[in-house]
């Protein structure tokens, strides 16, 4: 298994701990990320390398699967990287944040502060992948974990952690989770979701149809 844009290795570390995958390889654009990943000492990690963000230095079908987790939103030429993923493995796990909302252009500075130069909705991501010859096999919508939201609220935004503030925060999180997990339809769930994870394969026939048109 190859992870592209592996960062400091949190995904691969977790996969190793749960026993998913026998052999890992990783590519990262950041030199500091590479050093942090190596320092984790993940036993199943065979190779860690630098790449330029687009060219994957492996032969066709070198891997069973490739992971691209919270990378695509940072990439200037998305389709170039996606074609490389599709080339080196028949299966792909791709996750992006769902930053698109009506009026997102008015809040572009917020997205750029995270380095997000592309914004996605589930529909936009599906179209992008299908038009590049990816067959979507499974998908998972998720919301940001409560622990992360708590960090944002009381650490990043520096709100005072009073008993009342904590109680109000927990109430909002409970209401948010209830609305999301009991959404009356897929469309409603997509509007509330914060991330979309897709398991894909190759769709050669679909790609031929798209290119002919």
Report the chain's mean pLDDT, rounded to a whole number: 93
Taking the C-alpha atoms of residue 131 and residue 176, their distance in angstroms, rounded to an integer, is: 33
In sequence order, what are the residues at sequence separation of 6 or more whose Cβ sits closer than 8 angstroms to the Cβ of residue 160? none
Neighbours of 32 (CB within 10 A): 10
Task: Check pLDDT > 70 for residue 212.
Answer: no
Q: Where are the domains of the chain?
A: 2-144+186-212, 145-185
* Tokens found for residue 204: 């050669």
* Tokens found for residue 120: 């996605």
% of residues, the chain, pLDDT over 90 = 86
Q: Are strands 195-202 and 91-97 parallel, antiparallel or unpaired?
A: antiparallel
In this structure, whether the domain defined by 2-144+186-212 belongs to CATH 3.40.50.150 is answered with: yes
139-145 mean pLDDT: 96
Span between the terminal Cα atoms of the chain, in Å: 34
Output the pLDDT for position 110.
83
31-39 mean pLDDT: 94
Per-residue pLDDT tens digits for 182-201: 999 999 999 999 999 999 99
Per-residue pLDDT tens digits for 58-93: 999 999 999 999 999 999 999 999 999 999 999 999
Per-residue pLDDT tens digits for 102-121: 888 888 888 888 889 999 99
Tell me which DSSP letter residue 73 carries.
G
159-187 mean pLDDT: 95
List the single range of 43-57, 98-112, 198-212 with lowest mean pLDDT.
Answer: 198-212
């Amino acid at each position: 298994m190859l992870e592209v844009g592996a960062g400091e290795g949190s995904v691969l570390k977790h996969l190793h701990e749960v026993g998913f995958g026998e052999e890992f390889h990783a590519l990262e654009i950041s030199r500091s990320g590479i050093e942090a990943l190596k320092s984790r000492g993940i036993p199943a990690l065979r190779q860690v390398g630098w790449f330029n963000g687009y060219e994957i230095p492996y032969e066709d079908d070198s891997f069973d699967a490739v992971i691209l987790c919270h990378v695509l939103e940072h990439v200037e030429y998305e389709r170039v990287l996606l074609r490389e993923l599709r080339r080196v493995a028949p299966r792909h796990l791709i996750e992006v944040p769902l930053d698109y909302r009506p009026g997102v252009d008015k809040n572009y500075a917020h997205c750029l502060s995270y380095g997000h130069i592309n914004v996605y909705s589930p529909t936009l991501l599906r179209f992008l992948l299908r038009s590049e010859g990816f067959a979507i096999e499974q998908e998972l919508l998720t919301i940001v974990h409560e622990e992360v939201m708590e960090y944002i609220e009381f650490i990043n935004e520096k709100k005072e952690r009073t008993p009342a503030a904590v109680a109000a925060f927990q109430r909002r999180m409970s209401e948010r989770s209830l609305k999301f997990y009991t959404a009356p339809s897929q469309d409603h769930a997509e509007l509330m979701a914060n991330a979309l994870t897709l398991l894909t394969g190759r769709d050669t026939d679909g790609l031929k149809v798209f290119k002919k048109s």
